[in-house]
Structure 1
Amino acid sequence: MQSREFKDAVFEQFARVAGAFASPKRLEIVDLLAQGPRSVESIAQQASMTVNATSRNLQILRNAGLVTSTRHAQRVVYRIADPSVVAAYRALRDTAEARIAEVRQLAQAFFGEVDGVEPLSLEELVKRSARGDVVVVDVRPAEEFAAGHIPGAVSIPLGDLTDRMADLPVDAAVVAYCRGPYCVLSAQAVRRLRAAGIPARRLDAGVDDWRQTGRPVESGAA
């Protein structure tokens, strides 16, 4: 193989990975799978896609080596191939945040109204948790909580929040979190909690951000 042939061939493979990422829905799938393994049907529901469209996008991700799958009876469960895939997704997200103004504008337009004040950072959460004046609520679906969650968090999926508000302590502020800085579930939770007169703030991070700091992540059902 000549040097030019090698260069063309290796960059073609790099482009293959980039092409797999080059879809809003496939990026959302990677974001979902970063929370833990899940079935095609679960991904389709969370990403508002048909099962057929979800399967096609998963096939592209699998062909690029970004996800793997296993069959359990009649269900096919997908998972991230290895941590480098999530690292690549985070690098893409960070680059978009830094270089594309529309990302910041969209985030401000959506989260600005519900936040009112600045969302809570991970560092602030650690300090307040040590003082014992906050209750951390994970509003993701139960299967994501079971796959991994911030230690001490309480699992209250968004769909159950209204019925379980009475379970929340009255002497502590609520900090709601979901999948990461662009997940809308925590913003919706904060809006509902404040409407019910419960002090609440949104955490501007998710479990993967917590993990990236080197802190432990708990797993298991609530």
Structure 2
Amino acid sequence: MWELSGQYDVGVWYEYVRVGTWTNQYDVFCGVVVNGVRLDQPYCRAVEECVEEVLREYKREVERLREPPVPALVIKIDPVEELLREWPELGAFGTEWVRKWLDLRDRLIEIAKTLRRFPWMVGVVRQRPMSILHPYMVEVYVARDGSETCISLTSSKAYCAQNGAAKEVKLELEFSRYEVYEDKIREVYRPKGLLAFATAAREYVRLI
């Protein structure tokens, strides 16, 4: 300590650590403090050897303290990939389409739930360009008698399926009324024009 005091601010630290289960059983740990840097106790015999070891340990500790902290590992989760993992049906529209409309997440999930219910619609969507399609242009209808389901991607075209076989049709509907369907109040539509008066004309419930 005396040999270092001329150039450094030196001192001693010590700490009592309780050991065992009996009362007043303690070990004492101590070491050297150089310029406020706490060092472990040196293990040496000669004074010169102790001075060298303390200075070597002090310089090593100062260098370590100067090193920038290791940045915490940050795992960035892509919200689009996360959504596609949960709802892979949306992949039919393309990753970039999902990314473009991610702000409408609730609507995308609503679409995905419907596609999961009617898997044939996934194939229809995948075969058609979707880059400019707005999520609220996707409409799904089901015949009230359950015989047919349809998905509309544009105002002029729809794809309807009976027993899983899909075909392109021109589905022209007009609003008729509100009705409870599957525990929700939904819009009911009927065909426009002369088809509305046909005996076998179907009525359709809009699901989304």
Give the TM-score of the pair, scaled to structure 2. 0.19
Structure number with the higher helix fraction is: 1
Which structure carries more relative contact order (alpha carbon 8 Å, separation 6+)? 1
Give the TM-score of the pair, scaled to structure 1. 0.18
